[in-house]
Structure 1
Amino acid sequence: MTQDLSLDYANGDFIAGAAEYPARWDALAEDTRASLGERARCGIAYGESPRQVFDLMLPKGRPAGLMVFIHGGYWLNFGPQTWSHLAAGALLRDWAVALPGYTLAPAARIHEMTREISAAIGVAAQEVAEGPIVVTGHSAGGHLSARMACSDQSADWTRRLARVVPISPLSDLAPLMQTAMNKDLRIDPAEAAAESPARLQKREDVGCTVWVGGQERPSFLWQARLLSEAWDCPWHVATGAHHFDVIDPLTDPDSLLVKTLLE
């Protein structure tokens, strides 16, 4: 009998006030867009699907480069509009920030999302045509950010890719086959092999630091450590941070997370 691992990946069940976070994120994101005015360019299309869009946040001056933040939600939930506030730290360091959307499961499978994210970054790289590109993402977005650094990625924009910082990444998809979510995700052994960053090679010219909260579920600590070992790269455990607040330092230009991304 196959063991059900759903509880191992149930983050909200172990975070006090978890249900309050989405509304809080939405409010912070809306305030950020309002404060940026015309420097918040929302809904830029990179494909024909309604979810194939990205938001682009621009600094006051000439961008030093492009940071990409890929949202999480187990490839099932959310969109870029919930996370605008996470651009704040990079914007204050004069970086542009792209927040791509992608088709969610069950309408798309994970390998299709990987292709969509690469396409989105390609269009964003045309909008911000100079400077390095750094990619981060959270949870499922951490997985997708790590995928951008894999050796099978060869889009033109990857020549500018300097580093990735996957936050709380899902680096091996196989355990998710034993969760209730897989009814919609439809991960099978072939996709787990092809889409798990920890089973793939990282490009030698791309730096990586794996980030995870110290108070996250043991499965996420394992996933983060697994990727750091597979890629022989540093990992940072953020003391006291859980799965929902581990991303908060992205709002602070002087945080260690932002410095790790941009310096």
Structure 2
Amino acid sequence: MVKTNQFNLRLRHPDYQKYLDINERESLRVKKSYSCHLDQKYGLDVLQAMDIFPSNVENAPVLVFIHGGYWRALDKRSYHFVAEPFVKNDFTVCVINYRLIPSVNMQTVLLDVSNALIWIREQIVRYNGNPNKLVLSGHSAGGHLALMVYLMNETLRSSIRAICSLSGIFDLGPIKNSYLNEVLQLNDHDVENYSIINKDLSVVKCPVSISVGTNETEFFIEQSNSLYEENKSVADMEYKAYNHLNHYQMVHELGREDSPVVDFVLEHTN
């Protein structure tokens, strides 16, 4: 078993609640400050839904955000704050939910995110979005889902302009060998098929931003650094380590107007 302190982020950061409180407070402020269509359904289950912050102008680029939580927890409503810098720059923003393990397995989680993107491509024009200017973003497990869904869905790739993975998880092997697998129940097939580190990233034809905080655990730092080093020669990939930021702080970069992550998205959708 991999050491618990590499994955138990609340143990690693005992002050974690203050960061979660920031998420909730800022998300409530953004929801009140901007037009928002809550719980737009892309499937029948209550979690097959997204919250959409439409652009004020037509034909806008679309940022899609996928939350983390080790594929088993958390909710879109805590991440509305990521919408603000993009809506201010004439984006439409979709913050999506998906069904969680253990009620479903990893394959179904990925199917949900894929179906959410298919729905966005078909419907987003109703929210002033351009279906061929999508940017996929995600934090932690969401960073894994953003890249993995691109790799799994060849027909969606032409619509995706860029991918941003913050504190992503790219090798499921250590997760399978940790206490987390008591809930996740990953098997060897899952590790082989859904680990991005095993994939040929030369098929990724859009720019990819990989970022991580220097105050994260060695596991998360190694996940991002290894993916970048092994694929920078075959994919348009950039890597940035954010000094002194921990796992909880990294997602805030996507909601901060002067962040390099936000600049990356704006640069690749102009």
Task: Please indicate the TM-score interval, normalised by the length of the shorter structure.
Answer: over 0.9
CA shift at 1:182, angstroms?
A: 0.5
The equivalent of 2:174 in structure 1 is 175
Is the 8 Å Cα contact of residues 93 and 253 (structure 1) preserved in structure 2?
no
Distance in 1 between residues matched to 2:23 and 2:15, nearest whole Å: 13
Distance in 2 between residues matched to 1:23 and 1:127, nearest whole Å: 33
The equivalent of 1:11 in structure 2 is 9
CA shift at 1:188, angstroms?
A: 0.9
Is the 8 Å Cα contact of residues 92 and 253 (structure 1) preserved in structure 2?
no
Q: 2:18 aligns with which of 11, 20, 25?
A: 20
Runs of 4+ in 1 over 3 A off after TM superposition: none
Distance in 2 between residues matched to 1:256 and 1:64, nearest whole Å: 21
Query: How far does the alpha carbon of each residue in 1:140-198 deviate from its partner, in whole angstroms, 9 at most, with x for none?
Result: 10110111332x3224x432111111110100000011211111111111101100111
Is the 8 Å Cα contact of residues 5 and 175 (structure 1) preserved in structure 2?
no
Distance in 2 between residues matched to 1:63 and 1:179, nearest whole Å: 45
Counterpart secondary structure, 1:33? helix
Is the 8 Å Cα contact of residues 65 and 133 (structure 1) preserved in structure 2?
yes
CA shift at 1:63, angstroms?
A: 4.8
Distance in 2 between residues matched to 1:23 and 1:235, nearest whole Å: 28
Is the 8 Å Cα contact of residues 198 and 231 (structure 1) preserved in structure 2?
no
Distance in 2 between residues matched to 1:125 and 1:219, nearest whole Å: 34
Is the 8 Å Cα contact of residues 66 and 125 (structure 1) preserved in structure 2?
no
CA shift at 1:20, angstroms?
A: 3.1
Counterpart secondary structure, 2:21? helix
The equivalent of 2:261 in structure 1 is 257
Q: 2:33 aligns with which of 32, 35, 51?
A: 35
Query: How far does the alpha carbon of each residue in 1:79-131 deviate from its partner, in whole angstroms, 9 at most, with x for none?
Result: 11110011111111111111110011101111211111111112122233425
The equivalent of 2:231 in structure 1 is 231
Distance in 1 between residues matched to 2:212 and 2:229, nearest whole Å: 14
Is the 8 Å Cα contact of residues 63 and 128 (structure 1) preserved in structure 2?
no
How do residues 1-263 of structure 1 correspond to structure 2 at under 5 angstroms? 3-36=1-34, 39-129=35-125, 130=130, 131-150=132-151, 152-155=152-155, 157-202=156-201, 203-232=203-232, 233-263=237-267
Mark the runs of 5 or more structure 1 residues left unpaired by the alignment: none
What's the % identity of the aligned pairs? 21
Q: How big is the alpha-carbon RMSD for the aligned residues of Structure 1 and Structure 2?
A: 1.5
The one-letter code sitting in structure 2 at the alignment partner of 1:139 is: S
Counterpart secondary structure, 2:154? coil
The one-letter code sitting in structure 2 at the alignment partner of 1:122 is: I
Counterpart secondary structure, 2:248? coil
Counterpart secondary structure, 1:245? helix
More helix per residue: 2
Counterpart secondary structure, 1:234? strand
Is the 8 Å Cα contact of residues 209 and 261 (structure 2) preserved in structure 1?
no
Distance in 2 between residues matched to 1:8 and 1:14, nearest whole Å: 8
Is the 8 Å Cα contact of residues 19 and 249 (structure 2) preserved in structure 1?
no
Distance in 2 between residues matched to 1:59 and 1:255, nearest whole Å: 20
Distance in 1 between residues matched to 2:114 and 2:5, nearest whole Å: 31
Report how many aligned residue pairs link the two structures: 257
Query: How far does the alpha carbon of each residue in 1:210-250 deviate from its partner, in whole angstroms, 9 at most, with x for none?
Result: 11111110100001012212332321101111100112122
Is the 8 Å Cα contact of residues 24 and 78 (structure 2) preserved in structure 1?
yes
Task: Output the TM-score relative to the length of structure 1.
Answer: 0.92
The one-letter code sitting in structure 1 at the alignment partner of 2:168 is: P
Distance in 2 between residues matched to 1:161 and 1:5, nearest whole Å: 37
The one-letter code sitting in structure 2 at the alignment partner of 1:11 is: L
Distance in 2 between residues matched to 1:4 and 1:248, nearest whole Å: 28
Mark the runs of 5 or more structure 2 residues left unpaired by the alignment: none
Distance in 1 between residues matched to 2:190 and 2:54, nearest whole Å: 36
